[in-house]
Structure 1
């Protein structure tokens, strides 16, 4: 683990420039530029809000707003978008950069680090847009918003641990990529993004909390929607899960990265 951190520090300029170049390229080559970063997640919000707002309107206590459900939904989408982007891109990061891995000598851990940095930058742009929309809707998050960087760090640790592990396995077993894509779709609906946990019968809620993203999404909603600090008891399991996932990913990386290059 210490070796990986040292390698990443030595490659920090390469990582920073790669993130910047990717972001600039994405903006410059598109006429809509930054809008594409926010259009897809906000389109999801509009669709789900249109379809489900009538069902959910009376089931979101504690939010005194006509736009209660869209606000609730947007907070969950903000968290899920970052998680899904990191996991999905890490899944193929070694395969897509196979030629680079063979031709250049650089810390291979820089690749998932670049993915995380790029996804974080996109998420910051989305967050700025979300806060602007909240302001237009008359919903102003309070000082509890300062918890968001901590929650984002936890979310990214979870996503990186899972993404690195699955990305390495995907090099050797290409079916992993197909399976994970399907699992992510199910996981979205097993995470309280479009519904409130209180809607689920109490005997089934423990199963919902086996998904580590459940506690994180609820924490995002507490901060952004209800203006209160996260329930830290709900974050213990995601934190442990993220730590274990990172350790497993680091272990597989150090044991298999040379074979990854050979396979590619």
Structure 2
């Protein structure tokens, strides 16, 4: 009876060159491992801890307060016809998701070194699972935005239905840059010091505390080379409605950069993937 059950189960045969020939099939075959890694990290972060959930709320909220005071009260920048806290937090959501994804992805391979060095599976699963963990933070932080909308009696219009489209672009940007950083961090451990600088610098060169519409027209093209500009503008366009506008040429540029980062990130990750187990 046992022999019949064993014979009926599909077997995974490891053979030379399999990773090259059936990599994408194996990525789907090992999808449960992606769920397991993401769920494990979520449990570690939130189970039996209050500060884990609270930090996901406190950090973006305090950043929003600072930006509202500096840019909204002191600098008196335009708010596109909505309360300034909502303007800021509509941008904080995708930015925090992107920033958290970079931090999690850059250390994901090193943090799973024992698994990578002992078991075969498509290594792409590890950084992608880190992005899903950051998405949980995104969902928790979204409660602050809902609270702000209720406080200011703000109701979004039909554009909110397009939010999943811009969320998918944010996913692509996070995975693309995250794959680069994850692979580079394995080869050059100094990158763990560079990632916080990238995140901090990116916060100030992205339109988080202000509307990108204040950027002079002659600089809009160059400014749109930042892939998060298109993502943030898309989130604001979908959430704020009303006077919120998208510089569609700049959005197309940002989208093109995101696609380039995603494809090149996959290419570089796959190129260096075979050496991870030896280096780690």
State if a TM-score over 0.5 links the two structures: yes
Q: Which residue of structure 1 lines up, in the alignment, with residue 72 of structure 2?
A: 53
Q: Which residue of structure 2 lines up, in the alignment, with residue 248 of structure 1?
A: 264
Task: Supply the distance in 1 between the matched residues of 2:129 and 2:44 (Cα, whole angstroms).
Answer: 14
- In the TM superposition, residue 55 of structure 1 has moved relative to its aligned partner by 3.2
Residue number among 108, 116, 124 corresponding to 1:101 in the alignment: 116
- In the TM superposition, residue 211 of structure 1 has moved relative to its aligned partner by 0.8
Q: Which residue of structure 1 lines up, in the alignment, with residue 158 of structure 2?
A: 143
Runs of 5+ consecutive residues of structure 1 not aligned to the other structure: none
Residue number among 11, 24, 40 corresponding to 2:59 in the alignment: 40
Change (3 A) 1:234 1:206: closer
Where do residues 86-165 of structure 1 align in structure 2 (5 Å cutoff)? 86-165=101-180
Q: Which residue of structure 1 lines up, in the alignment, with residue 42 of structure 2?
A: 23
Change (3 A) 1:238 1:168: same
- Aligned-residue Cα RMSD (Å) equals 2.3
Q: TM-score, normalised by structure 1?
A: 0.88
Q: Which residue of structure 1 lines up, in the alignment, with residue 240 of structure 2?
A: 225
Matched, 1:200 2:219: no
Deviations 1:122-179 (A, max 9, x none): 2122223312321222112222111111101111101111110121022112233323
Change (3 A) 1:179 1:32: closer
- In the TM superposition, residue 234 of structure 1 has moved relative to its aligned partner by 3.5
Count of residue pairs brought into register by the alignment: 260
Contact 2:225 2:254 (8 Å CA) reproduced: no
Task: Supply the distance in 2 between the matched residues of 1:199 and 1:176 (Cα, whole angstroms).
Answer: 33
Task: Supply the distance in 1 between the matched residues of 2:56 and 2:202 (Cα, whole angstroms).
Answer: 22
Q: Which residue of structure 1 lines up, in the alignment, with residue 199 of structure 2?
A: 184
Task: Supply the distance in 2 between the matched residues of 1:220 and 1:2 (Cα, whole angstroms).
Answer: 39
- When Rg is computed on C-alpha atoms for both structures, the one with the higher figure is 2
Contact 2:224 2:254 (8 Å CA) reproduced: no
Deviations 1:55-81 (A, max 9, x none): 354622433xxxx11111101111100
- In the TM superposition, residue 107 of structure 1 has moved relative to its aligned partner by 2.3
Runs of 5+ consecutive residues of structure 2 not aligned to the other structure: 1-19
Q: Which residue of structure 2 lines up, in the alignment, with residue 14 of structure 1?
A: 33
- In the TM superposition, residue 229 of structure 1 has moved relative to its aligned partner by 8.0
Q: Which residue of structure 1 lines up, in the alignment, with residue 229 of structure 2?
A: 214
Residue number among 64, 89, 94 corresponding to 1:74 in the alignment: 89
Task: Supply the distance in 2 between the matched residues of 1:188 and 1:149 (Cα, whole angstroms).
Answer: 22
Contact 1:86 1:115 (8 Å CA) reproduced: yes
Question: In terms of mean alpha carbon deviation, does 100-109 or 187-196 score higher?
Answer: 100-109
Deviations 1:181-213 (A, max 9, x none): 323222211111112223333333332112111
Q: Which residue of structure 1 lines up, in the alignment, with residue 255 of structure 2?
A: 239
Contact 1:90 1:164 (8 Å CA) reproduced: yes
